[in-house]
């Protein structure tokens, strides 16, 4: 029965591409998605699904397909928000919204799950268990859409949850994942340095926030190299150092923005404490006042072992032994982590690279669209594999 579904997906591919390109032309930013969830809900209802809920957790859409055979309740998730990036590609489906584009592939995630749903629903008599379709808003911007959707019940009665990300710099036709830590916790911080400004020719009459801020930046670089266990992973990076005005005026204040990426909760806590200590003591040493604002972002994404094995098994059966790659953990963040804190499951990357591929969040970003078909086949195969394992366990 599942082989029939996989074959049917091939016929759905042209429509899958058309829908992906529609969403690509009409992107919507995180927490501003209005038309996209409407389109998703309308597509699902036109298929015949009756159990479709809109406004889940804010702007999310959740639908259920009830199979005709007993089995697990399996959730499949796709995100649908875009980024504040101008689309610089010269393609027919270029974004029609100035300054906004699907520069991360969420348009493809959405089209993939919609057509997976179509095939599953049309074969529901032979489908095992219940499939929960989670169309999530606002993955790109914290606090994200996953947690409010979970709080609103999207994982209620779910046994296992799976998600994928089409990745433009991984070879097309290959699946990448690993058990345990896969993506890092992604936090942000802001250090406000308040000093005393004055004329650049009279620095002794000032408390220079730029000099103090520069010392803070240099000192904070030593947290990872001197405070973090070399066998652990952590990243501390700065994204902005803003201050000043005229070339000959020492300003009153400076602002430093950065990010912290960790896998271990203990390492995360230690880095946060050292940030505060270094900023405070450096500020006092330079006669300035330093205020740290630290915002916890998405938690680390930790794949469950059994479900990761299911992903690897499905990939090998579908695409061959060499097509399933054990990947190195990424320091990027992903709010799918919240689903895995609540339910067993796994997240994996579907290679979507092509010869002229650009990285994610780049103005020229695009994907190999065939990757959508491969991701959709993975979802259907995971339903089969998960239910086979449940039957084997009795």
β-strands 253-262, 185-194 pairing: antiparallel
**pLDDT, mean over the chain:** 97
Domain-ending residue, one of 251, 279, 298:
298
For residues 359 and 263, membership in a common domain is answered with no
Q: What CATH number is attached to the domain comprising 260? A: 3.30.70.360
- Joined tokens for residue 245: 């005005």
Per-residue DSSP letter, 59: T
pLDDT of residue 394 exceeding 60, the answer is no
Domain-ending residue, one of 258, 282, 298:
298
pLDDT of residue 393 exceeding 70, the answer is no
3-state SS string for the chain: CHHHHHHHHHHHHHHHHHHHHHHHHCCCECCCCCHHHHHHHHHHHHHCCCCEEEEECCCEEEEEEECCEEEEEEEEEEECCEECCCCCCCCCCCCCCCCCECCCCHHHHHHHHHHHHHHHHHCHHHCEEEEEEEEECCCCCCCCCHHHHHHCCCCCCCCEEEEEEEECCCCCCCEEECCEEEECEEEEEEEEEECECEECCCHHHCECHHHHHHHHHHHHHHHHHHCCCCCCCEEEEEEEEEECCCCCEECCEEEEEEEEEECCHHHHHHHHHHHHHHHHHHHHHCCCEEEEEEEEEECCEEECHHHHHHHHHHHHHHHCHHHEEECCCECCCCCCHHHHHHCCEEEEEEECCCCCCCCCCCCCCCCCCHHHHHHHHHHHHHHHHHHHHHHHCC
299-312 per-position pLDDT tens digit: 999 999 999 999 99
pLDDT of residue 1 exceeding 90, the answer is no
For residues 198 and 242, membership in a common domain is answered with yes
Q: Which residue has the higher pLDDT, 392 or 22?
A: 22
For residues 234 and 304, membership in a common domain is answered with no
pTM greater than 0.85 (yes/no): yes
Tally of domains in the chain: 2
> What average pLDDT score do residues 93-101 get?
98
How far is it, in rounded angstroms, from Cα 370 to Cα 16? 10
For residues 269 and 325, membership in a common domain is answered with no
192-233 per-position pLDDT tens digit: 999 999 999 999 999 999 999 999 999 999 999 999 999 999
For residues 52 and 87, membership in a common domain is answered with yes
Q: What CATH number is attached to the domain comprising 38? A: 3.40.630.10
pLDDT of residue 353 exceeding 70, the answer is yes
For residues 381 and 277, membership in a common domain is answered with no
Catalytic residue from among 12, 25, 33, 81 = 81
> 274 is in which domain, residue-wise?
185-298
For residues 125 and 246, membership in a common domain is answered with no
How far is it, in rounded angstroms, from Cα 9 to Cα 270? 48
Q: In the annotation, is 12 catalytic?
A: no
pLDDT for the residue 178? 98
Rg over alpha carbons for the chain, rounded to the nearest Å, is: 24
With contact defined as beta carbons under 8 Å apart, do 334 and 73 qualify? Answer: no
6-21 per-position pLDDT tens digit: 999 999 999 999 999 9
pLDDT for the residue 375? 98
For residues 388 and 308, membership in a common domain is answered with yes
Catalytic residue from among 25, 139, 159, 369 = 139
For residues 235 and 281, membership in a common domain is answered with yes
Q: In the annotation, is 81 catalytic?
A: yes
For residues 284 and 331, membership in a common domain is answered with no
Domain-ending residue, one of 268, 298, 328:
298
């Amino acid at each position: 029965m599942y082989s029939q579904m996989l074959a049917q997906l091939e016929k759905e591919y042209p429509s899958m591409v058309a829908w992906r390109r529609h969403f690509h032309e009409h992107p919507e930013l995180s927490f501003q998605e209005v038309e996209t969830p409407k389109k998703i809900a309308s597509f699902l209802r036109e298929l015949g699904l009756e159990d479709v809920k809109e406004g889940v957790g804010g702007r999310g859409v959740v639908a259920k397909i009830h199979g005709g055979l007993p089995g697990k309740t399996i959730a499949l998730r796709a995100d649908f928000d875009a980024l504040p990036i101008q689309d610089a590609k010269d393609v027919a489906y270029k974004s029609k919204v100035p300054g906004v584009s699907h520069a991360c592939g969420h348009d493809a995630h959405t089209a993939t799950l919609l057509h997976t749903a179509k095939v599953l629903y049309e074969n529901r008599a032979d489908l095992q268990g219940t499939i929960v379709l989670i169309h999530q808003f606002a993955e790109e911007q914290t606090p994200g859409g996953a947690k409010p959707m979970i709080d609103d019940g999207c994982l209620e009665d779910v046994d296992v949850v799976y998600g994928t990300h089409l990745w433009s710099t991984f070879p097309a036709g290959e699946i990448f994942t690993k058990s345990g830590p896969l993506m890092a916790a992604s936090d942000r911080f802001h250090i406000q340095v308040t000093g005393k400004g004055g004329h650049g020719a009279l620095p002794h009459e000032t408390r220079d926030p730029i000099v103090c801020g520069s010392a803070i930046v240099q000192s904070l670089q030593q947290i990872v190299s001197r405070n973090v266990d070399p066998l652990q992973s952590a990243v501390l990076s700065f994204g902005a150092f803003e201050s000043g005005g005229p070339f000959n005026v020492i300003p009153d204040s400076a602002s430093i923005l950065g990010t912290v990426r960790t896998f271990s909760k203990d390492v995360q806590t230690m880095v946060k404490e050292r940030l505060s200590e270094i900023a405070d003591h450096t500020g006092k040493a330079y006669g300035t006042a330093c205020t740290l604002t630290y915002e916890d972002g998405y938690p680390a994404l930790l794949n469950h072992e059994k479900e990761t094995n299911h992903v690897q098994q499905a990939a090998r059966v579908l695409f061959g032994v060499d097509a399933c790659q054990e990947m190195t953990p990424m320091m990027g963040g992903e709010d799918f982590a919240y689903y895995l804190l609540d339910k067993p499951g796994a997240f994996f990357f579907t290679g979507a690279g092509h010869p002229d591929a650009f990285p994610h969040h780049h103005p020229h970003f695009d994907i190999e669209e065939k990757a959508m078909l491969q991701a959709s086949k993975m979802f259907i195969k995971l339903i089969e594999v998960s239910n086979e394992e449940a039957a084997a366990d009795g």
